[in-house]
Amino acid sequence: MASVAGQEQTQQASNQVSGFPFELLLTHLSAIEGRIQERLNELGRNQTRQLELLRIVLTHGNHENIPYRVEVIENMSDGRLNGEWIVLQTRFDGSLSFSRDWREYVQGFGDFGGEHWLGLEKQHRLLAGKRHELLVVLETFENETAYANYDDFRIGNESQRYVMSSLGNYSGTAGDSLMFHLGSKFSTQDQDNDSHSANCAAMYHGGWWYKNCYASNLNGKYSTGNRFKEVGIIWHSFKGPFNSMKTTKMLIRPYKGMT
């Protein structure tokens, strides 16, 4: 009888272990394991990103030791534009405010791994002495893309207020909304160099080569709600003056000709 009673107690204990409390424990442990794995994956991604940023800084500086991000452009309708480009500006989620003062626009702001502005002084130094082309890549919230290419992009120095002194010839699918700004000086919310009676940079929340005021404004306020308004990231000839872009890139590289 004692042996039978012992077997019954063992069976009851086994049922308790394999019952609801044990299953709950397994679920809890599985959730913990999932969170640990997610954290390890995140750490791995962060490490990869930091190594990539280090590679960018170490391998893509010029003789003046200017760090910058290089992006490989692929699958352009004009195959000549594929290849490596230096990123001057990129925006894609509105995480970084571009409503900045003069000194910040001169020095640059943001993170190479995210939204950023390289800085006017760095841009001037990179463009000086050799012909460069500019590539502007745009994407709408409906995932439509277009580009504008200018084959001789130059800006002045700080004493010239980084005037847009040359653009060269336009080609592309976005239409030309930059030639309007040729000859314009750069303006910010605390440095009004435009030809308008008001400060365009203050009105439109970003520094740019404003005239009176703009046909394009890639440094305007990022819009995720009502994006069909004048205050936004605008390229007039692509989707009109009241349709803010989701993604923008401004890129340069030494001019490669038409081959």
Q: What's the rounded Cα separation, in Å, for the pair 114 and 91?
A: 8
Phi, psi of 214 (to 5 degrees): -155, 160
**172 Rama class: left (phi>0) / alpha (psi -120 to 50) / beta:** left
Element (H, E) at 187: none
**Residue for token pair 């019952």:** 19
Pair 148, 178: CB distance under 8 Å: yes
Closest by Cα among 72, 76, 77, 71 to 89 = 71
Torsion of CA 101, 191, 237, 176, to 10 degrees: -110
159: helix, coil or strand?
helix
pTM: 0.76
Q: What's the rounded Cα separation, in Å, for the pair 152 and 25?
A: 66
Question: Mean pLDDT, to the nearest integer, of 34-45?
Answer: 68
| pLDDT over 60 (residue 250) | yes
Instruction: Give the model's pLDDT for residue 14.
Output: 47
Instruction: Give the model's pLDDT for residue 139.
Output: 97
Pair of tokens at residue 18: 């394999």
Closest by Cα among 44, 67, 66, 45 to 55 = 67
Mean pLDDT (the chain) is: 86
Phi, psi of 177 (to 5 degrees): -115, 15
pLDDT level of residue 31 (50, 70, 90 thresholds): confident
Instruction: Give the model's pLDDT for residue 256.
Output: 86
| pLDDT tens by residue, 62-103 | 546 788 999 999 989 899 999 999 999 999 999 999 999 999
| pLDDT over 70 (residue 4) | no
Closest by Cα among 182, 188, 211 to 105 = 188
Pair of tokens at residue 63: 């003789």
pLDDT level of residue 32 (50, 70, 90 thresholds): confident
Pair 214, 196: CB distance under 8 Å: no
Pair of tokens at residue 70: 């290089």
